[in-house]
Structure 1
Amino acid sequence: MAAMFPIPSSDQSAQIEVAAAGEVLRERHQQPMSVLHLDSGRVLLGVREEGVMRHQLGVVEGPFWLDAATALLDQPCALDMVADTRVQLRRMPLDEFKHTFDGLPKAAQRLLRDMATGYCQQTELAVSRLAQDAEARCAQWLLRHAHSCEDGGLRVTLHQRKRLIAAQLGIAPETLSRVLRHLREHGLIAGTGNVLSLPQPRALQMVAGV
């Protein structure tokens, strides 16, 4: 898209900015009123948790439009974007960006919309798979630590804090809490406190992929 949306250095509508390595440029679910063009430098794309890029899904180098796809489709940012090096950016107002897009030939507009739709769908799939992977790891851990009860069911006693369990699973504590809540809503775990019962072990095995 960078070739189809060139930003001349004399374009006054695009504000030039410089960001240091580690600076967050865009956050997931953010609905910005501008579009970022990466002039130079490298940016990491992925999912941040607890202020850390926990899952890196890509890396781009300038020149590159960072969020043109979601901007074209009026969607919020699908990924967190963090500067991996010192970067130079140009911030173009969203309405100006769309005005430029509307000036393209109709065939080019259709092509870019199709490309943007495909990119957003692939990104959503990648992010959803991360959540599925976390669920699978959590389910595997629960089954591995389960013990039989007198009533014939399975039970898990959490001897460690959730933060330590999350570290073992390679996920953030809030991700573990979200996964456990999801499993509870689907009736795969029950109980409160440090003792959890597994009322549907076969279904939990399916989630775990075993």
Structure 2
Amino acid sequence: MNPAHDHPQAEFRPIRFWLLAGGLIVLIIGLSLAYSRMLQTALPRPELPVLATIKGDLEAVERSGRAVRFSDLRGQVIVAAYLYTQCPHGCAAVTAQLQKLNQEFTGHPGFHMLSVAIQPGRDSTTLLKAYADAVGATEKSPWWFITGDRGKLWSFMTDEVGMTAAKPIPKEERITPDDEFEHDLRIALIDGRGRVRGYYAVFHPQPEVAALMGERLHEHVHQLLGHPHP
């Protein structure tokens, strides 16, 4: 009698092996991600830095034609950025992030956004209203589009908010005839006490960096509003 025939060895099936191994790897990754998310939720988030404190005020004209002040928004979490309706550079990326925030936080009493005209001589209330309508900002949206005295607008954004000062672009370097000023394309995040807590380069030559900045902006807005980022 041949012992090999009495105790046949199990046949090795590579397909079944790799399916089981792959399933086990997916399970381990899923559990790791779930555990990581649980830790992020359970552990306190580090405080955001205070990068500047806004002490002055700004008088401007909203797209509706009414006079507004920055101090009207005290107590709210504010997202602020420059806007140029004819911008050939990265204003579209900035507006896209603000649109996402508008969709998410419309109706939240503690949140507001501020788009500041970089070239108020061109961007009148009429143009700003048309632009706001085009990007889905209604009268109920927590989103001001403001224009006014260029010197005051620039001074507030530079001296108070801490944005990089705008400067003229030489004619030979302009992409279009309307491409008159180089301006900061970051978004500033301001808490309810008027403190700037972050700047976010949502327009960046590296798409991965731009995506990361957008994600951090949303996360930090949630953090300042006091509820977890979904």
User: Same fold by TM (over 0.5)?
Assistant: no
Q: TM-score, normalised by structure 1?
A: 0.26
Asked which structure has the greater RCO (Cα within 8 Å, sep 6+), the reply is 2
Report which of the two has the higher share of strand.
1
Return the index of the structure with the highest Cα Rg.
2
**Structure-2-length-normalised TM-score:** 0.24
